[in-house]
Amino acid sequence: MVAPGHKRLTRDKRLHSAPHWLAKYRGKDVVRGYRKWLGVSEACAVVELRMLGVDIPDARLEQAKRDEQARAAHRARRKEKHARAPAAAERDDELAFTAGYTEGGAPYGLGWLDSGAAADEVQMWQKLAEAEGIVFRPLDDDDDLPF
């Protein structure tokens, strides 16, 4: 789905069309309305409305900048958190070592019991898997293998 045309305008085009929008706007918060109508950030809306001659206090611009910085920091923390998670998420509960993936996306490799892992090591991985909400089912013997 493509965004509406008014949300894809460049700054020059937004500044050209904004006076027509301002004349029709009847809401309470012109910054919020401008931001939502044109799909820009709050700081951008404040700056552009000021360029158009709308009186907006400096405090509103400073608050908008702080909010954007806080959102960026939150996204960075969330991205960092998810960057660390793939090691746990990609770990296959049935395989001690994943050698690769089939064309269909199924993992293949060395099973826990085949790898010679000590029983206490298997229990450690079971606890880690359970803590992350992963069902841990080590292969018992070769009868469970699909090939």
Evaluate if residue 5 carries a pLDDT over 50: yes
Q: What are phi and psi for residue 3, nearest 5 degrees?
A: -65, 150
Evaluate if residue 92 carries a pLDDT over 60: no
- pLDDT digits over 99-135, tens only? 778 888 777 777 766 666 556 676 777 777 777 777 6
Which tokens hold the place of 26? 């009847």
Apex 22 CA angle, 19 and 26, nearest 5: 165
Tell me what the mean pLDDT of segment 33-46 comes to: 94
- 38 versus 117: the higher-pLDDT residue is 38
- 25 versus 110: the higher-pLDDT residue is 25
**C-alpha–C-alpha distance, residues 31 and 21, integer Å:** 12
Evaluate if residue 88 carries a pLDDT over 50: no
